[in-house]
Structure 1
Amino acid sequence: MAGHSQFKNIMHRKNAQDSKRAKLFTKLVREIISSVRAGQADPNFNPRLRAAISAARANNLPKDRIDNAIKKGSTVGEGDNYEEIRYEAYAPGGVAFIVEALTDNRNRTASDVRSTFTKRGGALGETGSVNFMFERIGLIEYPASVSSEDEMFETALEAGADSCESDEFSHVIHCNPDSFNEVRDVLTKKFGDAQVSRLSWLAKDHIEIDDIERAESLMKLIDTLEDSDDVQFVCGNYQFSDEVLKKLEG
């Protein structure tokens, strides 16, 4: 996703990743618990759990926290029950967003997401008001250091991926949701656990952002959303122009 990956790279350059580690761990733990409850505790027979564990390991979630999350998810009546919710919204200028959440309090999360968009001049939409602008995909991402661009490209496409794009920070692989598990398992066997390994959304068309103030406002919106423990993923149909990217990096 052009906008999402651009934003992520900017965040890398600003060294924001470490400051968000605790929240990232919380999100990873929630996904493991929910994956177990949606299937079973054995990752060999639960593809979603296998992906969740892979992402947790790649992001250095301690093994004891992974094991405890699996145990918590498989214990009846133990801990919170998280509900999967998808929000669809618009930011100023018609930029569309899909926000996926795992929450133990639907009212709280809806209020927080709605307030975040409203404060930035946007609005929460009805279900179906945005998702037709996106297509469902499998998303896998590795740091650039694990492989050369050519090796990752060849391996991904041979495994059944639709595309593989690389830059100085990462390799981003897209595939059909039906082939996601197979592609992920092939890549994991060769390159280890992926930093990102999940079903996601890809915008069919992008709105180019060529104004620095508008770009900064969008970044603040996304940052606020991702700061919530309940929000798992944020996808938008924006794309920063090269000129705006240079100003943001500066």
Structure 2
Amino acid sequence: MSGHNRWAKIKHKKLAGDARKSKGWSKFLKEITIAARSGGGDPANNARLRAAIDRARADNMPLDTIQRAIKKGTGELEGSALEELVYEAYGPGGTALVIELMTDNRNRAVADVRHILDRNGGKMASPGSVTYMFKKRGTIIFEAGAVDENALLEAALELGAEDIQTEAETVTVYTDPANYISVKEGLEQKGFQPAGGEVAMLPDTTVPVSGEAADALAKLVTVLEDHDDVQNVYVNADLDEAALARAES
């Protein structure tokens, strides 16, 4: 989505406090454990695990903590029985949301998500009514002023990237999820150091949202992401600059 990268950066900034960082680490650990359980404990052969580790390391999570989470996923250490859930919803301004959760209590999770939506201008959608609007893609993000964009474009396409998008503050390389690791490592070997990256659900098209609807949507996403069981919230919104600035403040 246009503004997606800036919104993601805003969310990372809001995890800067100790309490928020602790909550962020908890979510990283869940993702690492589930990724290792579903695809194995070797990040070289598991794009989802590699992306989860990269995000955790970018937030200064210790390697031994990451390794314990991997071992819980592979069964080498005992861990809680986590379940992955995906809920679909509609939000303010005619937007669509995909909400990914990891929880040890399905009934509690769905009740909490429904309550948050009801209290913040959203509502649950029926299965399949929203997810078709999104596509899973690898995203590798660079600071705009820190790279030669033409050289990055040439290198990324040579390595098999699908697309590259330049915004005011960032340059994003998009990949097929299966190629995320090879493209990211290839760019690093060529001297391009990413500021972040992940495999995410991105909208095929976006809905422009501004004013009160944009503020309400930003609040809804924030409240959802503050929930312990919510891992990711994806929205097909194109927030205007004023709304993004208010969300950042």
Relative to the length of structure 2, the TM-score reads: 0.85
CA separation of 1:151/1:24 partners in 2, compared to 1, >3 Å: closer, same or farther? farther
**Paired residue for 2:122?**
122
Within 5 Å, which residues of 2 pair with 1:21-36?
A: 21-36=21-36
Displacement of 1:108: 1.7
CA separation of 1:164/1:59 partners in 2, compared to 1, >3 Å: closer, same or farther? farther
Between the aligned partners of 2:187 and 2:240, the Cα distance in structure 1 is 31
CA separation of 1:210/1:161 partners in 2, compared to 1, >3 Å: closer, same or farther? same
Check conservation: 1:188, 1:194, Cα contact below 8 A.
no
Check conservation: 2:58, 2:196, Cα contact below 8 A.
yes
**Paired residue for 2:229?**
230
Q: Does the residue aligned with 1:2 lie in a helix, a strand or coil? A: coil
**Paired residue for 1:195?**
196
Between the aligned partners of 1:5 and 1:51, the Cα distance in structure 2 is 16
Displacement of 1:11: 4.8
Between the aligned partners of 1:26 and 1:10, the Cα distance in structure 2 is 19
- Structure 1: tracts of 5 or more residues without a match: none
**Paired residue for 1:140?**
140
Q: Does the residue aligned with 2:22 lie in a helix, a strand or coil? A: helix
Q: Which moved more, 1:38-47 or 1:107-116?
A: 38-47
Check conservation: 1:88, 1:126, Cα contact below 8 A.
yes
Check conservation: 2:89, 2:130, Cα contact below 8 A.
yes
Q: Please, what is the CA RMSD of the aligned residues?
A: 2.6
Letter in 2 for 1:86: V
Q: How many residues align?
A: 246
Identity %: 38
Letter in 2 for 1:231: V
- Structure 2: tracts of 5 or more residues without a match: none
**Paired residue for 2:15?**
17
Relative to the length of structure 1, the TM-score reads: 0.85
CA separation of 1:46/1:145 partners in 2, compared to 1, >3 Å: closer, same or farther? same
Displacement of 1:246: 5.7
**Paired residue for 2:113?**
113
**Paired residue for 2:220?**
221
CA separation of 1:142/1:60 partners in 2, compared to 1, >3 Å: closer, same or farther? farther
